Chain A
Amino acid sequence: MKNIAAVNDFVVKFANVNGSGSASANALFARAVLRMGVSASPRNIFPSNIQGLPTWYEVRISERGWQGRRGGVDLMVAMNPQTWDEDVAEIEPGGYLLYDSTKDLLPTKFRDDVQSIGIPLTRICNEAYTDARQRQLFKNIIYVGALGALLDLDPQVIAALIGEQFKGKEALMQSNVKALAMGRDYALSHFDCPIGLQIQKSDSVGEKIFLEGNSAAALGAVYGGATVAAWYPITPSSSLAEAFERHCKTYRHDSDSGRARYAILQAEDELASIGMVIGAAWNGARAFTATSGPGISLMQEFIGFAYFAEIPSVIFDVQRGGPSTGMPTRTQQSDITLCAYASHGDTKHVLLFPEDPKEAFEMSATAFDLADRLQTPVFVMLELDIGMNERLCDPLEWDDSRRFDRGKVMTHEMLERGDEFGRYLDVDVDGIPYRTYPGTHPQHGSYFTRGTTKDRYAKYSEAGPDYVDNMQRLLRKFETAKNLVPEPILHMDTHASQFGVIFFGSTAPAMYEAIDALEVRGLEVDALRIRAFPFSDAVTEFVAEHDQIFVVEQNRDAQLRMLLINECGFNPTKLVAVLHYDGTPITARFIVHEISEGIAALNEAPLRGTAAK
């Protein structure tokens, strides 16, 4: 048997039982790798459960900085008997299995092509601790200590992290250090350390920060000037609202009075959340809600109201697996059509697709400008994979000269000097009318906001021409949006290839790695990362310039492809769907496999360009 040998480039996966205290130990491991200067991206794969069900933590270690999932596991830390068989099966040939050898396991439970590393974790704990909770918690720390020795992680680095974590709690710190040492000593005295997988000090992390998408998006809302947040708890979005509260506590209290420059309400449901956002935004505050698919489903009526009454509102949809309760703790990109056309009647909404926490921060702040400028709902389409995982990304940036774009708001001065105010008058022929905030002027500028049809001066009207006039203006406004939303980004701008790939959101890191791997195989593809809906003309050009386009997404029905065909009139045969939707984040290997197969099939039987007569 030849074991895998790799330095700074492998996958470690921890299989644990939910609620067993493994989360902080596993995070400690990931942080230690990062402290060694080696890029790592961890992903939580967790159940909808508080205690007892299986949970996994997968750490992709990559000197080259690939942040996506690669696919396959090189070292499995199998701590959960319930999932033993599937965990062992997932290991790459030549890989490693670290397990608790306190109890004898049948030889059939192991694989010949995998190196087994048994450590009697339970026994060590039972001998060292009397308290049941301690026995459980320190078992996790002990395997981190053992991993340190097996992978050649600098023990000083781990010790320093423990020191930071338990600063001021001397006793806890000492017991953690002791547990780490027990694991390390056991590994050193029983195995050849290091094994084939090793971490060597590097500088591939550089200035990068390690940040969770939901926290980044929440900070973007602080920087973007949101003052009102209304939400109802739902995984995977709750931590966004909670992070907003945390950030506000840091940044938004009046230094003299201590009073809050924000208001956060945990509403009774998502209907109320979006209602509060609409009320606050109508009244001139920047407001948002954070939710997931089920919440968006509930908000439908109000979203149409905000579209038709033209009220800026920002909605974070941290997507999870649907339909219904679906896979509440797994990732997907399956709310695209739900959000793009949310509500009854003819509606279309602006969507933003961040690829990582850094972009979640930026797009979050931008969403408030767009919502105000366009006077319409704006969706920030996060995903569980981005929202609830820490990701290594470039430091966040802010330009201090940047001002909030509050859009077209008529002020007291403008009304006083006699500017004509018609709430739905298209004065600039961009589809965007002026609005006033309630209470602006005693005599001028008040109007009645309603979801029923109206004329250009906001007067109730059921006249067909008034209705059509208004609906056409809303379309013009959506055209204007095209040029305001973030442009798509072209990768591998060689145009050497007849093949193009379109992707978005959390697929990005796996896609970057896949493009690289395809190139190694001699398969060049151009790639376009879509960052917003409505689609800009650059998308149409990209599709026109290539013979065949793969649209890679994480849902069953190829929702982005559907939207592209519907909105841009593309020939459906030109757009090949590449779909990954089992709830786990998409991997580079999957993409490489699908696209190379796809290209091979197309080369055999081209879908397009049947021979000319």
Chain B
Amino acid sequence: MTYIAKPKLAHPGIPTNELGYTRRYYEGAVSTLCAGCGHDSISAGIVQAFFELNIEPHRVAKLSGIGCSSKTPTYFLGSSHGLNSVHGRMPSVLTGANLANRELIYLGVSGDGDSASIGLGQFAHCLRRGVNMVYIVENNGVYGLTKGQFSATADKGSKSKRGITNADSNIDMVGLALQLGATFVARSFSGDKAQLVPLLKAAVEHKGAAFIDVISPCVAFNNHAGSTKSYDYVREHNEVLNQLDFMPRREPITADYEAGEVEEIRQHDGQVLRLRKVSKDYDPHDRIAAMNILQARAAEGEIVTGLIYFDREAEDLHSNLNTVEFPLNTLGEEELCPGSAALDLFNADLQ
């Protein structure tokens, strides 16, 4: 792999966001993934989401594990700090980082091997704890970087490129996330940017554990007939529940949808999400209903996508721990060290 810096200059006249940054400013190094890899489309979606959200890239911390997917943070938000941890352990590192500074935005990027196989434990526990983050699994059903072995999300009965049939049941990350208490759960497809970008934006604005499973075909090892994570298969079996429009706080709410088809979701910080319902009677605030529809559609061979569950009143780890409002990493001797007078009293108690 090589590191190629992209030219920094942008043409005048190129659109900028409210901060005056071009879209280019949100990109990273040139990707070294295979041409056509789903992961690159997700990176592009992330670039667009942060550009449109007018977020200063340096206020974002990108963390990942190991895998092709986990390499992608090099390819977006070049001005953000990044950390490529060890295989399957991004959630713990992200949790610690979040504890140290509650003011940054935490973006965790992982793969299905990284999160559903070696890292299943950490995946589960960071969702349980309600770490304020966006956790993206770039799900291709295989280990891309180690050349095409099945991962734990590979569907039972699906065929590997070498013709081996997977006999093990698959792990559904979305179903798990729901059960574990994630407060924002979505699924999308790397090939559907129109669906993915608003979901990413909403997840960034969500205060709590937001999880997005993005099906992201591996063109090198899992895009053949017999795979259930190929571009063709996903397009044919994608059951879209809803389409999200993300409304930045100040945008006037215009009513250009038919009544009954649109639900406006007000978050407790005043943000509004607008959800265009495709499946008419689906309620994304009902965790149990979400679990049901997931199972029912999976039994029919359908892959449910969209905003699957959303908790308006989500709490995060910091509120559970009742930590001070300032980042812990800004506290100094004054706030942290009790000093010699307190130590004298401590000693006296033990004499």
B83 touches A272 (CB 8 A): no
Q: How far is the CA of A55 from the CA of B318 in the complex (A)?
A: 42
Chain A CB within 10 Å, residue with most, of B97, B99, B122: B99
Contact yes or no, B86 A439, CB < 8 A:
no
Q: Which partner residue on chain A sits nearest B350 by CB separation? A: A209
A208 within 8 A of B: yes
Picked from A219, A264, A276, A451, the residue with its CB within 8 Å of the CB of B84 is: A451
Cβ < 8 Å to A, chain B residues 45-72: 56-59, 61, 63
Known contacts A260-B321, A396-B347: A283-B84 contact under CB 8 Å: no
A263 and B92 contacting across the interface, CB-CB below 8 Å: no
Residue among B61, B80, B346 with max Cβ neighbours from chain A (10 Å): B346
Could you say which of B3, B59, B335, B340 contacts A439, with CB atoms under 8 Å apart?
A: B59
B74-A460 in contact (CB<8A): yes
> Would B350 and A210 count as touching, CB distance under 8 A?
yes
State whether B97 touches A283 (Cβ < 8 A): yes
B101 within 8 A of A: yes
Q: Within the assembled complex, what's the spacing in Å between the Cα atoms of A501 and B103? A: 53
Residue in B closest to A451 when the chains form the complex, CB atoms? B86
Interface string of A300-321 (1 = CB under 8 A from B): 0110010001000000000000
Q: Is the CB of B99 within 8 A of A251?
A: no
Interface window among A398-406, A523-531, A554-562: A398-406
What residue in chain B is nearest A276 (Cβ atoms)? B96
- Closest Cβ of chain A to B319, distance in Å, is 10
Quick one: which of A260, A280, A404, A438 contacts B104, CB cutoff 8 A?
A438
B95 at the interface (CB under 8 A from A): yes
Give the docked Cα–Cα distance between A443 and B57 (Å). 9
Q: How far is the CA of A283 from the CA of B82 in the complex (A)?
A: 11
Q: Does B93 contact A (CB under 8 A)?
A: yes
A283-B96, A449-B84 given as contacts; is B101 within 8 A of A208 (CB)?
no
Q: Which residue of A has the minimal Cβ distance to B90?
A: A275
**CA of A412 to CA of B300, assembled, Å:** 56
Given A275-B89, A446-B79, A449-B83, A268-B122 contact (CB < 8 Å): yes
Question: Which of chain B's residues 19-51 have a Cβ closer than 8 Å to chain A?
Answer: none
User: Are the C-beta atoms of A272 and B92 separated by less than 8 Å?
Assistant: yes
CB pair A259–B325 under 8 Å, yes or no, is: yes
A586 CB within 8 Å of chain B: no
Chain A binder among B257-265, B267-275, B277-285, B326-334 = B326-334
Q: Is B276 an interface residue (CB 8 A)?
A: no
Highest count of chain B CB atoms <10 Å: which of A277, A280, A281, A395 = A280
Residue from A284, A397, A460 within 8 A of B340 (CB atoms): A397
Q: Which residue, of B129, B335, B347, has the highest number of chain A Cβ atoms within 10 A?
A: B347
- A438 with B101, Cβ < 8 A, contacts A209-B347, A276-B92, A287-B96 known: yes
Contact B324 A254 (CB under 8 A): yes
| Residues in B whose Cβ lies below 8 Å from that of A398 | 337, 339-340, 343
Establish whether residues B325 and A263, one from each chain, have CB atoms under 8 Å apart when the complex forms: no
- B343 close to A225 (CB less than 8 A): no
A462 — nearest CB in chain B belongs to which residue?
A: B1
User: Do A301 and B86 form a contact, CB below 8 Å, given A251-B342, A259-B325, A263-B99?
Assistant: yes
Which single member of A209, A279, A459, A462 contacts B92 (CB below 8 Å)? A279
> Would you call A552 an interface residue if the criterion is a C-beta within 8 Å of the partner chain's C-beta atoms?
no
Query: B351 to chain A: which residues have CB within 8 Å?
Result: 207-210, 395
Q: Which residues does chain A contribute within 8 Å of B333, judged by CB atoms?
A: 225, 403-404
Most chain-B Cβ atoms within 10 A of its Cβ — which of A259, A279, A281, A448? A279
Residue of A nearest to B59 (CB): A439
Cα(A223)–Cα(B339), bound, Å: 7
- Alpha-carbon separation in the docked complex, A272 to B92 (Å): 5
Using an 8 Å CB-CB cutoff, how does the interface string of A199-210 with B read, 1 for contact, 0 for none?
000000001111
Across-interface contacts of A222 in B (CB, < 8 A): 336-338
Q: Quick one: given A396-B343, A446-B79, A448-B82, are A265 and B322 in contact (CB under 8 Å)?
A: no
Please provide the chain A residues from 427 to 461 with a CB less than 8 Å away from any CB of chain B in the complex: 436-443, 446-452, 459-461
Query: A285 contacts B328, CB within 8 Å?
Result: yes
Chain B stretch 74-110: residues in CB contact (< 8 A) with chain A: 74, 78-86, 89, 91-101, 103-104
A231 to chain B minimum Cβ distance, whole angstroms, is 12
Residue contact B97 to A259, C-beta cutoff 8 Å: no
B56 touches A442 (CB 8 A): yes
A228 B100 Cβ-Cβ under 8 A: yes
Taking a contact as CB atoms under 8 Å apart, the answer to whether B89 and A271 are in contact is yes
Please provide the chain A residues from 236 to 264 with a CB less than 8 Å away from any CB of chain B in the complex.
251-252, 254, 257-264
Find out whether the CB atom of A441 lies under 8 angstroms from the CB atom of B95: no
A440 to B98: give the CA distance in the assembly, Å.
Answer: 15
Smallest Cβ-Cβ distance to A403: which chain B residue: B333
Q: Does B125 contact A (CB under 8 A)?
A: yes
Question: B324 to A259, Cβ gap below 8 A?
Answer: yes
> Given contacts A228-B328, A260-B324, A267-B125, are A439 and B58 in contact (CB under 8 A)?
yes
Tell me the count of chain A residues lying within 8 A, CB to CB, of chain B.
75
Q: A396-B343, A443-B79, A460-B74 are in contact. Are A450 and B84 (CB under 8 A)?
A: yes
Q: Is the CB of A395 within 8 A of B347?
A: yes
Per DSSP, chain A at the interface is loop
Q: In this assembly, does B121 line the interface, its C-beta being within 8 Å of a C-beta of chain A?
A: yes
Which residues of B lie under 8 Å from residue A264 when comparing CB positions? 321
Q: What residues of chain A lie closer than 8 Å to B91, measured between beta carbons?
A: 272, 275
A537: interface (CB < 8 Å): no
Residues of A within 8 A of B321 (CB): 260, 263-264
Q: Is B179 an interface residue (CB 8 A)?
A: no
Q: Given A260-B321, A439-B101, A451-B86, decide whether A279 and B125 contact each other with a Cβ distance below 8 A.
A: no
Report whether A283 and B101 are in contact in the complex, using a CB–CB cutoff of 8 Å: yes
The CB with the most chain A CB atoms within 10 A, among B96, B125, B350, is that of B96
Cross-chain contact B350 with A282 (CB below 8 angstroms): no
Assess whether B323 is interfacial by the CB under 8 Å rule: yes
CB–CB B3/A283 < 8 A: no
A543 an interface residue at 8 Å Cβ cutoff? Answer: no
Provide the residues of chain A in CB contact with B57, threshold 8 Å: 442
Whether the pair B336, A252 counts as a contact (CB closer than 8 A) is yes
Q: Is A439 within 8 A of B81, CB to CB?
A: yes
Looking across the interface, which residue of chain A has its beta carbon closest to that of B84?
A: A450
Contacting B at CB under 8 A, from A495-548, are: none
Which B residue's beta carbon lies closest to that of A258?
B322
Q: B350 and A397: CB pair below 8 A?
A: no
Q: Is the CB of A446 within 8 A of B100?
A: no
| Contact between chains at A269 and B121 (CB < 8 Å) | yes
A296 CB to nearest chain B CB (Å): 16
Q: Does A22 belong to the interface (CB within 8 Å)?
A: no
Report the nearest A residue to B99, measured CB to CB.
A263
Name the residue of chain B whose CB is nearest to the CB of A448: B82
Chain B residues closer than 8 Å to A397, beta-carbon distance: 340, 343
Q: Are A440 and B338 in contact, with the CB atoms below 8 A?
A: no
Of B95, B121, B323, B340, which one neighbours A276 at CB under 8 angstroms?
Answer: B95
Report the minimum CB–CB distance from A226 to chain B (whole Å).
8
- For B351, the closest partner residue in chain A by CB is A209
Q: Is the CB of B101 within 8 A of A396?
A: no
Q: In this complex, which of A224, A267, A268, A400 has the most chain B Cβ atoms within 10 angstroms of its Cβ?
A: A268
Interface centre among A225, A227, A275 (most CB of B within 10 A): A275
Point out the residues of chain A lying under 8 angstroms from B58, CB to CB.
438-443, 446
Once A209-B350, A279-B92, A398-B340 are accepted as A-B contacts, the answer to whether A448 and B84 lie under 8 Å apart by CB is yes
A279 to B61, CA, bound (A): 11
Cβ of B93 and Cβ of A263 under 8 Å apart?
no
- A269 surroundings in chain B (CB, below 8 A): 121
Query: Is the beta-carbon distance between A280 and B85 smaller than 8 angstroms?
Result: no
Instruction: List 11 A-B pairs, Cβ < 8 Å.
Output: A257-B324, A259-B323, A268-B122, A269-B121, A279-B97, A283-B104, A403-B333, A404-B333, A446-B82, A447-B81, A448-B73
Give the top 3 A-B pairs by smallest Cβ distance, nearest first.
A275-B92, A279-B96, A276-B96
Name A's B-contacting residues (CB within 8 A). 207-211, 219, 222-225, 227-228, 230, 251-252, 254, 257-265, 267-269, 271-285, 287, 301-302, 305, 309, 395-400, 403-404, 436-443, 446-452, 459-462
Given known contacts A438-B58, A448-B73, A451-B84, what 7 new A-B pairs fall within 8 Å (CB)? A209-B347, A228-B96, A228-B100, A263-B318, A279-B95, A282-B93, A443-B79
